Amino acid sequence: MRFDVLTLFPDAFAGPLDVSIIKRARQDNLIDVQVHDIRDHATGRHRPVDDYPFGGGQGMVMRVDVLDAALHHVRSLDEAAGIVVYLTPQGQRLDDAIVRELATHPRLILVCGRYEGVDERFIEHRVDRQVSIGDYILTGGELPAMVLIDAVARHVPDVLGDEASPEDESFADGLLEHAQYTRPAEYNGWDVPDVLLGGDHASIERWRREQRVARTAARRPDLLPALRDGEKAALQKIGVPGARLRGVDYPADLPAVLALWRAELGSVDLGRSDAPAELAKLIERNPGLFLVVEVAHEVVAAVMAGFDGRRGYVYHLAVAPQHRRKGIARALMAELEHRLRARGCLRLNLFVRAGPESAAASAFYEAHGWTRIDAQGFAKALDR
């Protein structure tokens, strides 16, 4: 597969494409990367490659005539037509599917922009595809072009060699990788999970699959539709696979819980209950009524309750945004109510924030058996 790069900074490409797998692939002629200086195709005494934007505005625009001359020259170097890919923040965000599609072409001509961009007529008449590598601003298209070449080259037959196949990798099946360990088995009191040392390969495979699902749920829930049917059912039942509901571990969980509350409750006054000393007192006074949900060692939800012998009060229910609508809040509240009832509590109260931002919270409580008593208050009777 052939890559031609059009850039104002050809020097940027020395280095990243001259090491490791990509270096060997170039040496073995599996891929060919040719970098071309757009400036070589500028004409006139000052040889400008850019100019002021028509209509005014900030910065400079790359000239259509210079770019077109550079493209014409590069096309003439090989009979394979290839497609022209312009790296731009306005492009489609590069992902595994686009990488695989691009790898099916025998030749890619990559155009790197600098300045405020390139004249729209070049894009309209010469560019087949516009690609971004993510939603952050870089200084030019050179690093994105290298990222694209690296990612696409790995899908060219034989580039990865015999052992590795892009089909076996994470993203191919939509789950993140499991954790990896090597010797020493014990370092600094940090252990390797027992299952990996046991040699029971079925158990190891099961553990790894569970790890991958739990990690994906915790870190990249957007990837989860790749779950197997059984795992999907489990997710719907308990919210998130690998989720663990447990009492708060104080003070280890404190930073994570406070971060959750602050994100959920925003500028709302937490009373003094978010001061560590106050929290410690509350936890001591209400053992077992401060619950968290943990996924792959990360606290993703928390709720706290108190009981004064007459009424129970529920405080600060919060679920991390990426874990909402999975049944986590429902599971937390069910367990909390169960624990309160076991202490003889028959009536519960809670308060939501004032204003429209608490509409979703109010809807949740109404759907879970709570009765509105005023603008911010809800009550619930527990079964005798």
Residues that bind ligand 9D3 (CB under 6 A): 87-89, 113, 116-117, 132-134, 136-141, 144
For residues 140 and 288, which CB has a smaller minimum distance to ligand 9D3 in the complex? 140
Residues 88 and 130: beta-carbon distance below 8 Å: yes
Nearer to ligand 9D3, 89 or 288 (CB): 89
- Name the minimum Å distance from CB 31 to ligand 9D3: 20
Taking the least distance from each CB to ligand 9D3, the nearer of 149 and 295 is 149
Pick the closer one to ligand 9D3 by CB: 140 or 166. 140
Can you tell me the distance from the alpha carbon of 66 to that of 41, in angstroms, rounded to the nearest whole number? 6
Sequence-ordered strand ranges (E) for 94-202: 107-112, 129-132, 186-187, 190-191
Shortest Cβ distance from residue 33 to ligand 9D3 (Å)? 18
Q: Tell the smallest beta-carbon distance from residue 154 to ligand 9D3 (Å).
A: 19
Buried b (16+ CB within 10 A) or exposed e, 304-336: bbbbeeeebbbbbbbbbeebeebbbbebbbebb
Residue 114 CB, nearest distance to ligand 9D3 (Å)? 7
Calpha distance 210→296 (Å, rounded): 10
Contact (CB, 8 A) for 352 and 376: yes
Q: Which amino acid is at 171?
A: F
User: φ and ψ at 126, to 5 degrees?
Assistant: -125, -20
Give which of 275, 254, 368, 262 is closest to 314, Cα–Cα. 368
- In the complex, least distance from residue 91 CB atom to ligand 9D3, rounded to whole angstroms: 6
Q: How many CB atoms lie within 10 A of CB 181?
A: 12
93's torsion region: left (phi>0), alpha (psi -120 to 50) or beta?
beta
Least separation in angstroms between residue 26's CB and ligand 9D3 is: 23
- Any residues with CB less than 8 A from the CB of 28 and at least 6 apart, and which? 158
Residue whose CB is less far from ligand 9D3, 135 or 269: 135
What is d(CA 136, CA 80) in angstroms, rounded to the nearest whole number? 33
Strands (DSSP E) along the chain, which ranges? 2-7, 32-37, 50-51, 61-62, 83-93, 107-112, 129-132, 186-187, 190-191, 243-247, 290-295, 298-307, 311-319, 347-351, 371-372, 377-381
The answer, yes or no, to whether the previous bond of 157 is cis (omega within 30 of 0) is no
User: Of the candidates 378, 356, 372, 245, which has an alpha carbon nearest to the alpha carbon of residue 299?
Assistant: 245
Instruction: Rank residues 42 and 62 by Cβ distance to ligand 9D3 and give the closer one.
Output: 62
Judged by beta carbon, residue 131 or residue 289, the one nearer ligand 9D3 is 131
Query: At its nearest, how many Å lie between ligand 9D3 and the CB of residue 133?
Result: 4
- Which one-letter amino acid corresponds to residue 258? L
**Please, what is the minimum distance in Å from the beta carbon of residue 141 to ligand 9D3?**
4
Our CB check for ligand 9D3 shows the closer of 71 and 300 to be: 71
d(CA 40, CA 304): 67
Q: In the complex, what is the shortest distance from the CB of residue 155 to ligand 9D3, in angstroms, rounded to a whole number?
A: 20
Closest CB to ligand 9D3 among 29 and 139?
Answer: 139
Nearer Cβ to ligand 9D3 (51/308): 51
What is the nearest approach in angstroms of ligand 9D3 to the Cβ of residue 37? 17
Per-residue tokens: 289: 């009524």
